[in-house]
């Protein structure tokens, strides 16, 4: 039985939604599945409201799905520290809050929830303590793809819900209809969610020249400029529809997390980005490509190759090579069209592998469950 505790999760929202996407999923799972008392401190409620409709952009306190959502003010007004304190992705806790933790006289578990990585050193560093200048210990908690890490965010019923949806073509049809999309007979359905990416044009060229019809769903986001440039139009907006050759492009609105899951489950291939959609793309059980967030020192290439080493380990050599080539082209910004043609020859193997990968990750445990267990074991 898990210990029932009060949790404070602190999140600084960045423009790519990944930080708030991860912490919001985690907060509602801790509350809904594990019965924990969760406060989510968010510095930008206006951005959060796009993920959680009905959110007030100005309320100091509000409740959503069992989570006490608080505005994280610039001038900290004070709050009793929780039993478990999570600073997400190295955001810095208010100094007054840290002082209150140290002065409380209670045992408080302080966790830094790190960014997701498949690099080798993650396993050795996961859950290690670090003594802080305040005299408190902080533990570093690493999500990951191996059993010895913190695992991935996954709701308890996620795989069952996904499998039920994918077994029922009528549900897919109804969802697409809600977006104003009707699937063509025999068409390949794809989704595109990426940062600005020079590789997009070559990929779209290949889709447009294909002998098979392709339908591309593009949620509102940063990559729209590249798609618009390829189409030769000034800009794209939700509801816009365009066709070139074998490719039909549909721009769809920015989605809630639950809606985005349905989009991923509906498609035959998903292009995802960052961390939040990367994880959800894997749970979809469909072949995918990942646009990793570029870093100035090119450190993202090490992270990309580390994941590919894990992900392709049990793939046949030809399928593994095709996947690696496309992912490299996608992130290098060139050569995606040629690599896409090779990738399609391996689609059946990649589809079977994507499904097997989800079951392997389920066996590793999920992030919320591992956090609760870690706290219980720490007591």
What is the tens place of the pLDDT at every residue in 250-296? 999 999 999 999 999 999 999 999 999 999 999 999 999 999 999 88
pLDDT score of 3 more than 80: no
* Closest to 276 (Cα-Cα) out of 253, 296, 256, 298: 256
* Tokens linked to 227: 């798609």
pLDDT score of 219 more than 80: yes
pLDDT score of 63 more than 70: yes
User: What pLDDT score was predicted for residue 315?
Assistant: 97
Q: From CA 261, how far away is CA 245, in angstroms rounded?
A: 29
Q: From CA 21, how far away is CA 17, in angstroms rounded?
A: 6
Q: What length does the chain have? A: 379
Cβ–Cβ under 8 Å, residues 192 and 227: yes
CA angle 270, 25, 110 (to 5 degrees): 130
The CA distances from residue 234 to 74, 244, 251, in Å, are 39, 16, 14
User: What pLDDT score was predicted for residue 2?
Assistant: 58
Cβ–Cβ under 8 Å, residues 45 and 122: no
Beta strands, E only, 98-245: 109-113, 128-131, 137-141, 188-192, 214-219, 241-244
What integer is the mean pLDDT of 143-166? 98
User: What pLDDT score was predicted for residue 1?
Assistant: 44
Average pLDDT, the chain: 96
Q: By CB neighbour count within 10 A (0-12 exposed, 13-18 middle, 19+ buried), where does 219 fall?
A: buried
pLDDT score of 163 more than 50: yes
What integer is the mean pLDDT of 343-347? 98
* Tokens linked to 87: 């600073």
Q: Which residues pair with 252 in a beta bridge?
A: 219
Q: From CA 245, how far away is CA 229, in angstroms rounded?
A: 16
Q: What percent of the chain has pLDDT over 90?
A: 92
What integer is the mean pLDDT of 202-223? 97
Q: From CA 18, how far away is CA 140, in angstroms rounded?
A: 19
Which pTM was predicted? 0.96
Convert the pLDDT of each residue in 11-29 to its tens digit. 999 867 889 999 999 999 9
* Tokens linked to 269: 């291939």
Residue of 114, 261, 275, 276 marked active site:
275
Residue of 8, 19, 87, 346 marked active site:
19
Look up 377 and say whether it is catalytic. no
Convert the pLDDT of each residue in 65-95 to its tens digit. 999 999 999 899 889 999 999 999 989 999 9
Cβ–Cβ under 8 Å, residues 245 and 206: no
Instruction: Specify the pairing of strand 288-291 against strand 67-71.
Output: unpaired
Q: From CA 70, how far away is CA 47, in angstroms rounded?
A: 14
Look up 275 and say whether it is catalytic. yes
Q: What percent of the chain has pLDDT over 70?
A: 99
Convert the pLDDT of each residue in 108-151 to its tens digit. 999 999 999 999 999 999 999 998 988 899 999 999 999 999 99
DSSP 210-244: -SS-EEEEEESSTTHHHHHHHHT-S---TT-EEEE
């Amino acid at each position: 039985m898990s210990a029932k505790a009060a949790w404070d999760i602190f999140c600084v929202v960045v423009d790519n939604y990944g930080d708030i996407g991860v912490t919001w999923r985690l907060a509602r799972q801790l509350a809904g599945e594990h019965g924990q008392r969760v406060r989510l401190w968010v510095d930008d409620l206006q951005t959060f409201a796009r993920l959680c409709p009905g959110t007030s952009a100005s309320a100091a306190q509000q409740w959503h799905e069992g989570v006490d959502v608080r505005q994280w003010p610039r001038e900290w007004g004070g709050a009793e520290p929780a039993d478990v304190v999570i600073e997400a992705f190295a955001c810095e806790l208010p100094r007054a809050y840290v002082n209150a933790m140290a002065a409380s006289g209670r045992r408080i578990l302080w966790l830094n929830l790190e960014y997701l990585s498949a690099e080798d050193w993650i396993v050795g560093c996961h859950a290690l303590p670090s003594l802080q200048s305040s005299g408190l210990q902080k533990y570093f908690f690493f999500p990951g793809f191996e059993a010895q890490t913190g695992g991935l965010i996954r709701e308890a019923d996620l795989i069952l819900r996904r499998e039920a949806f994918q077994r029922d073509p009528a549900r897919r049809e109804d969802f697409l209809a809600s977006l104003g999309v009707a699937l063509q007979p025999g068409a390949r359905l794809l989704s595109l969610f990426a940062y600005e990416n020079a590789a997009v044009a070559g990929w779209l060229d290949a889709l447009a020249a294909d002998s098979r019809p392709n339908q591309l769903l593009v949620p509102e986001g940063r990559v729209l400029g590249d798609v618009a440039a390829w189409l030769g139009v000034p800009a794209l907006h939700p509801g816009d529809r365009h066709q070139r050759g074998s490719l039909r492009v549909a721009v769809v609105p920015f989605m809630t997390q639950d809606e985005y899951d349905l989009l991923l489950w509906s498609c035959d291939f998903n292009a995802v980005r960052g961390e939040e959609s990367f994880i959800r793309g894997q749970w979809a059980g469909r072949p995918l490509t990942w646009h990793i967030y570029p870093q100035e020192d090119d450190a993202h290439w090490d992270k990309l190759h580390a994941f590919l080493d894990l992900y392709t380990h049990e793939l046949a050599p030809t399928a593994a090579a095709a996947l690696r080539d496309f992912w490299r082209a996608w992130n290098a910004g060139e050569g995606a069209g040629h690599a896409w043609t090779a990738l399609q020859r391996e689609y059946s193997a990649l589809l079977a592998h994507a499904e097997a990968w989800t079951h392997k990750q389920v066996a590793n445990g999920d992030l919320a469950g591992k956090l609760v267990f870690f706290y219980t074991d720490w007591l």
